[in-house]
Structure formats: structure tokens, C-alpha cells
Amino acid sequence: MNENGHNVVDIRSLKKYYPVRGGVFKRHIADLKAVDDIDLSIRKGECLGLVGESGCGKTTLGKTILRLHEATDGRIYFDQPKDKIEEVERLLASQRPEEIARGKTLLGIMDITRVSRKRLLALRKKLQIVFQDPSNSLNPRMLVKNIVAEPLVTQKLVESRELEDKVVSLLNTVGLAREHLMRYPHEFSGGQRQRIAIARALATNPDFVLMDEPTSALDVSVQAQILNLLKKLQSDFSLTYLFVTHHLLVVKYISNRIAVMYLGKIVELSETEELFTNPLHPYTKALLSAIPVPDPDTGIEKIILSGDVPNPIDPPSGCRFHPRCRHAREVCREEVPKLESAGEAHQVSCHLWREL
């Protein structure tokens, strides 16, 4: 990855809270902080892996980028030059009201969370998603032909005459053929259904595809097929992936960089090799040691975390990982650690990473 390559997606202090309502009048009593103050940039042409346990907010973060969820606060820039983003950030941070106002008007065009519906439709052409379970994400009453053609029709990209050829060529790229056109999703196996979902995502020729656990519902041998296909497509179509998963070995295989999330925060962000050879955050270390290794002779000592992921409605004070961390100290309980740079292309959010 070249450092100067510009970012496809630039996320600045993004927050997504779900209101929790209770009492007789359904008062707003608390917030479920699914994504809490996240800064993240996804470079052009890379595959960024987003790893974490269930309930840590990784899917929410992904879907907020596509504006399938409305963000509570924060900015998501899509495909904007770096200096322009910095300019807007400077305007927003300034003290003078007129500069802030100008920043806000600029945001109206640049920020995914604020653009108008009309612009959003155009943006959606560039942002696509592959969902977790293909048996739920494909409409059982639609033919494969119509499923794959739907984005093309809505975006008015192809004339109806050429539609079928376009769909067939899309199916070919994912390893299906013309004979599959007139079938329904239930006639396919899990792996083939996921291929259809991928073809649908590629239909509008996107720049950025969100992969929301695309292989977790598949068997090992089929998973390998899909992973290889995704890798091939990425280089063929110069795609950028955000690969959300809980499976560390899958993410290791497919990603260039990995972000580890815990309870709505990114705890570590690093290049893949670096993360696996030199994990800094205690949570990442525990996650890595918990992977079952398909080799009976590995003598890796396991770090078993005690307890469960805490409730995100009432997260622990300070570092959110401290109740399960075996190195926790006083400072972890009180101060929230910042994501700080720990060497080249490696960021970690822990008070004690230097000592551990």
C-alpha cells in the first residue's frame, strides 16, 4: 500500500447510538453505544478487515458507512481528496461561526451521513454490500436474472436490450453461467447463492464493497472458493473492501490491514503481518491465542479471557476492556485510552502497550 494513495472512505469521530426507551411513556433512558467515536480511513484498493466479537459494533459501523443506518454524529467522507477533507475539518474545528457554517455547507456534498437523498442514490452506485447469509439476502420470489439486474435497473445504467448480456457477463465473472438465469435462489447451494449476491453487488461497478461476514454461513471447502473469488475480483475490478468478520484466519488471508474492535471502539489497527507477528493490545493477543490452530503440535499458550463482553448500554469506565484484562491498573479504570501510533502503520489504544 502506498502511503500517498488517497482514501476511499474517511471516517471522522463517527458515533452511532441506539436509544433505549423505557417506562410508561417510553422515555429515552439510555443509549446503546454501538459505535463510539471512531476514526478510520480505508485506502483505495485495499482490503481492510474489521474483526471483533459479536455485539462489538462491527456490522453497525459497516452499515453506517453505507447509510443503511443513520449516524448519530460524525462525518464519513467518500472519495474526497485529502486536502479538501483537512480544509473542512479545519473549518468545523474553528471558533468563528461563519467558518463553521461554511464547513457545514461543504459537508452537505461531501459527507455520506449528510448528503441529500438524490445524491445518495448516485453514491450508492459506488457503495455496495454483500450480506452475511445469502439465503436471507436474496428475494426467494425473484429470478436470478431479476436479482442481479435490479441494481442496474434502479440506477438506469443499462438499456433493457443489453440487460441480459450484462447480467450473463456478471454471472460469468462470479463463476455462474447463462443456464442459471431463469432459476430461483432456493435452487442453489449456499456457495452459489453467495456468488449471486456478489454478482449483484458488482453490477453497478462499485468502488467500495462492504463484506458483512460473507463466508460465515458457508462450509470450509466452499468458503475457500468464495475467498479466492473475492480476491480475484478485487484485483480484476480494483475494488476496495471492508471485510467484516469474526474469523481471524479468514481476515488474515484476505486483508491488507486489520482493525480490531471491542465494544464500539477500535482497539488496534495495523497491517496484517504486523498484527499477527506483533499484537500490542491485550485483547488482540487474547483473540489471536484463542484461534483454534489446525495443527496438533502447536505449543501456543492460550490466554483465556474471563467473563463476557459487557453490556454496551452501560460500558465500563476508562478503557472498556479493563474488567477482562489481566494487566489492568488504576489508570485503565479512570482514563479512556486514545488510539495512538505505535510504530509504522500500527495504531493501538491501550495505556500500557509500551510495557506489555
Partner 1 sequence: MEKLIETEDLYTNFFTFEGVVRALNGVSVVVNQGETYGLVGESGCGKSVTVRSMMRIVQEPGKIVGGKILLFLSSEDRQKGIDIIKRSEAFMESIRGDDISMIFQEASTSLNPVLSIRDQVGESFLLHRRGELLEETLKQLADELKSNGFPLAMAWKGFQRWLFRRELESLRRYEKHVKEIDRELYELEEKTDPRSTRRKSSLNARRDRLSEHDFLVSAVKKSPFLERYYKKIHKIVENKIIELLKSLGVPNPANVLKSYPHELSGGMQQRIVIAIALACNPTLLIADEPTSNLDVTIQAQIIELIKMLKENIITSVLFITHDLGLVAEVCERVTVMYAGDTCETTSVKELFKNPLHPYTKGLLSSVPRIEQVEKLHTIPGTVPNLINPPAGCRFHPRCPSAMKICAERKPPMVEYKEGHTVSCHLYPGEEV
Residues 12-31 that bind partner 1 (CB under 8 A): none
Q: Does 53 bind partner 1 (CB under 8 A)?
A: yes
Cell of 325: 484484562
Rounded Cα gap, residues 85 and 96, in angstroms: 18
Residues 332 and 318: beta-carbon distance below 8 Å: yes
As measured in angstroms, the least distance from the Cβ of 302 to partner 1 is 6
**From 296, 344, 354, 355, residue interacting with partner 1 (rule: CB under 8 A):** 296
| CB 242, CB 211: distance < 8 Å | yes
Choosing from 27, 90, 302, 333, the residue that interacts with partner 1 (CB under 8 A) is 302
Among 3, 295, 344, 355, binds partner 1 (CB under 8 A): 295
Strand order through the sheet with 73-78: 27-43, 7-22, 73-78
Applying CB under 8 A, which of residues 219, 236, 314, 330 lies at the interface with partner 1?
219
Which CB atom, from 125 or from 252, has the smaller least distance to partner 1? 252
Which residue in this structure is represented by grid cell 479512570?
A: 334
Q: Which one of 73, 162, 187, 308 is in contact with partner 1 (CB under 8 A)?
A: 308
| Amino acid identity, position 84 | K
**Considering Cα of 317, then 262, then 39, then 277, what sign does the dihedral take?**
positive
Stretch in the footprint of partner 1 (CB under 8 A) among 32-40, 77-85, 146-154, 297-305: 297-305
Determine the size of the site formed for partner 1 (CB under 8 A). Answer: 40
57 touching partner 1, by CB under 8 A? no
Among 157, 227, 336, 352, binds partner 1 (CB under 8 A): 227
Using CB under 8 A as the binding rule, the residues of this chain from 155 to 214 that contact partner 1 are 189, 191-192
Stretch of 24-32, 34-42, 142-150, 306-314 lying at the interface with partner 1 (CB under 8 A) = 306-314
CB of 184 to partner 1, least distance (A): 16
Please choose, out of 78-86, 177-185, 225-233, 345-353, the segment that lies near partner 1 by the rule CB under 8 A. Answer: 225-233
Cell of 73: 454524529
- Kindly indicate which of the ranges 30-38, 78-86, 296-304, 347-355 contains the residues binding partner 1, using the contact rule CB under 8 A: 296-304
Instruction: For residue 41, give every residue at least 6 positions away whose Cβ sits within 8 Å of its Cβ, in sequence order, or none.
Output: 7, 9, 10, 11
Distance between CA 36 and CA 310 in Å, rounded?
Answer: 15
Helix axes 190-202, 220-237, angle to 10 degrees: 20
Decide whether 98 or 297 has the Cβ nearer to partner 1: 297
Task: For helices 190-202 and 144-154, give the axis angle rounded to 10 degrees.
Answer: 20
146 versus 289: smaller Cβ distance to partner 1: 289
The least CB distance from residue 219 to partner 1, in Å, is 4
Minimum separation from the CB atom of position 127 to partner 1 (A): 27
Q: DSSP for 36-75, please give it.
A: EEEEEEEETT-EEEEE--TTSSHHHHHHHHTTSS--SEEE
Least separation in angstroms between residue 132's CB and partner 1 is: 13
Considering beta carbons, is residue 302 or 338 the nearer one to partner 1?
302
- Report the 3 state secondary structure along 71-115: CCEEEEEECCCHHHHHHHHHHHHCCCHHHHHHHHHHHHHHECCCC
Task: Please give the residue ranges that form the binding site for partner 1 (CB under 8 A).
Answer: 53-54, 189, 191-192, 219-225, 227-228, 231, 246, 248-250, 252-253, 276, 286-287, 289-298, 302, 304-306, 308-309
